[in-house]
Structure 1
Amino acid sequence: MSSLFAFPGQGAQQVGMLHQLPAGTSASLEEASDALGEEVLALDSDEALHSTRAVQLCLLVAGVACARLLLQRSPAPDYVAGLSIGAYAAAVIAGSLDFADAVRLVALRGELMQRAYPQGYGMTAIMGLDQATVERLLAEAEGPVFLANINADNQLVIAGSDAAMAAVAERARALGAGAAKRLAVSVPSHCQLLEAPARELAAAFAEVELCRPAIRYLSGSSARPILDPERLRDDLAFNMCRVVDWHGTLRTAYERGVRLHLELPPGAVLSGLARRVFEQGTVVAFQGARLDTLDALLREEVSRSR
């Protein structure tokens, strides 16, 4: 038996999320502010979170700060994984990417994505249709729209222009989709529209040192473990323009013996997805849970694996 730390992606952000972090996380907030050259606590207001850069930085800082807090008292997980921007926090906790470097790279990542598509684009979740049906709708669509996330067998996310997504959503509802909901994401992530910004980010990544993960890192794009630092560099730099296979990532974790899925802040979106895969096991979110409860769960998994 083993455990997984899962870090959420864009769309999970919450107003005030950094101000609501538990006691003991101030050192991480200060480290992020020093690396950024600005006060990170100014980034989680309602107004600030309209910026892709601010959202992504808040998600990185919240995930790393809370994971570090838990690791001060608890055994390390066997695996880490992150959905989209969550991969950066996963790489930091795995010991592969320095936190200060991650902060600077994520700030650039958000700026590049926002600059490429400042308006008129985004992402839409479609629930209740299988992947083949959604891909057929995308193939028939007029305008730029692509498959972006495979979150579950019948929960997919598309990315593209507002008009093209709206047309696909309307057809999806006509075919019986339970919901087709525009997400709180203002850029068309995880599709070929972001290939040029990804290449710019990769150039910046070339100047940063990465190490072999000390904790096994699962890619949210390939749904496979990555050990080689150069492959990890590629995975992080280009995940903005690659389809997220989160369902496959969870299945890989489960098949490798993970029975404790712990979602780092903010929110519990990933926990809902994990419960579909972890039929035998425990799924829990950091937010809303007691630290001693999480510590006990992690220690229990360690004792079971012996």
Structure 2
Amino acid sequence: MSVLFTFPGQGAQKPGMLHTLPDHPETARTLAEASAALSRDVLALDSEDALRSTVAVQLGLLVAGVATARVLAAHEAAPKMVAGLSIGAWPAAVTAGVLAFSDAVRLVELRGRLMEDAYPSGYGMTAIGGLTRQQLEPLVARVHGPGSEVYLANLNAPRQVVIAGAGAALDAVAALALGQGAQRAERLAVPVPSHCELLDEQARTLACAMDQVALERPRIAWISSSLARALFDGRRIGADLAANMARPVLWADTVRHAWERGARLAVEMPSGSVLTKLTAPAFPDGVAISCEGTRLDSLVAAVRQAGNA
């Protein structure tokens, strides 16, 4: 039985998320390294006001994911594979040993700034529940056009799809979806149009920056949520990390791939439990749990037991 660590994407952030990390030397080390790489105190990034910034959100999720994975590893509770949704792919790559944490901090800061500068307002993402991709595609096609850009972005579950684009276009698709039987249409706390071609130019800029850092072969399986398969070459992973802001997320297929590779315990890193809820149905003979709300000793015991099974 294998253990999968999952790392959430933007929208999972919460005020105080860095201040509530485990009181542990590995947490302190991670916070210190991040602050040094940023030349400012990373703990200033998790206030309610700070988290209005895409840059702060993405850095916060990176730091929280790496710190928690390090704490668990220090207790001999490490995964055999990792996967992350959107920005979550970056702490997953650090945990797998693909790139240095300090490099990830600097690149994620650039990633967030590129996205935020390109779309400071008027754009975002909406989650639609209750319709399949096939049912939603024609509704998106009816609305999409010049000045009304909207795209399928995250295929999170068979009947949970996230769309990205201009605010008015998101609202128009949401109204059509609810009229066609969707159970909900909820605007997410993501103020940029992630995972669609609107971010192609920004992804190319980030790829140039990625070329300047060292990338290693992963020590454990790193599963791309853009391709829904494991990658084992450092440069290919780097290219995937740079491009993922402009590519749809195939989360349901990614989790299925992890299950097919033997994962039976999925542990979600902070913050939140969104991925746990999405992953559980794909693990019919396994378990999905989140770090949030679970005692550290319980997490360690669960990972060790699954790893030894």
Q: TM-score scaled to structure 2, two decimals?
A: 0.97
In the alignment, what sits opposite 1:150?
155
**Residue of 287, 290, 297 corresponding to 1:292:** 297
Structure 1 segments, 4+ long, off by >4 Å, are none
Query: How far does the alpha carbon of each residue in 1:67-116 deviate from its partner, in whole angstroms, 9 at most, with x for none?
Result: 10010012421100000000000000000110000000000000000001
Aligned residues: 304
Q: CA deviation at 1:41?
A: 0.5
Q: What is the correspondence of 1:152-301 to structure 2 with a 5 Å cutoff? A: 152-301=157-306
Residue type at the aligned position of 1:17: M
Q: CA deviation at 1:288?
A: 1.4
**Residue of 116, 124, 127 corresponding to 1:125:** 127
Question: Matches of 1:245 and 1:154 in 2, distance apart?
Answer: 13
Question: Matches of 1:246 and 1:74 in 2, distance apart?
Answer: 28
Query: How far does the alpha carbon of each residue in 1:138-191 deviate from its partner, in whole angstroms, 9 at most, with x for none?
Result: 111141000000000000000000011100000000000000000000000000
Residue type at the aligned position of 2:158: D
In the alignment, what sits opposite 2:72?
70
Residue type at the aligned position of 1:114: E
Question: Matches of 2:300 and 2:190 in 1, distance apart?
Answer: 33
In the alignment, what sits opposite 1:97?
99
In the alignment, what sits opposite 1:82?
84
Q: Conserved in 1, the CA contact under 8 Å of 2:3 and 2:264?
A: yes
Q: CA deviation at 1:22?
A: 1.3
Question: Matches of 2:308 and 2:75 in 1, distance apart?
Answer: 16
In the alignment, what sits opposite 1:30?
32
Q: CA deviation at 1:255?
A: 1.2
Question: Matches of 1:216 and 1:76 in 2, distance apart?
Answer: 12
Question: Matches of 2:300 and 2:199 in 1, distance apart?
Answer: 39
Q: TM-score scaled to structure 1, two decimals?
A: 0.98
Where do 5+ consecutive residues of structure 1 fail to align?
Answer: none
The secondary structure found in structure 1 opposite 2:282 is coil
Residue type at the aligned position of 1:10: Q
Residue type at the aligned position of 1:113: M
Q: Conserved in 1, the CA contact under 8 Å of 2:69 and 2:78?
A: no
Q: Percent identity?
A: 56
Q: CA deviation at 1:289?
A: 1.1
Question: Matches of 1:33 and 1:111 in 2, distance apart?
Answer: 17
Query: How far does the alpha carbon of each residue in 1:191-237 deviate from its partner, in whole angstroms, 9 at most, with x for none?
Result: 00000011111110010110000011000110000001111011000
Question: Matches of 1:84 and 1:110 in 2, distance apart?
Answer: 12
In the alignment, what sits opposite 2:20?
20
The secondary structure found in structure 2 opposite 1:190 is coil
Residue type at the aligned position of 1:5: F
Q: Conserved in 1, the CA contact under 8 Å of 2:215 and 2:234?
A: yes
Question: Matches of 1:65 and 1:230 in 2, distance apart?
Answer: 24
Question: Matches of 2:288 and 2:267 in 1, distance apart?
Answer: 6
When the two chains are superposed, the root-mean-square deviation of aligned CA atoms in Å is: 0.7
Where do 5+ consecutive residues of structure 2 fail to align?
Answer: none
Question: Matches of 2:159 and 2:287 in 1, distance apart?
Answer: 22
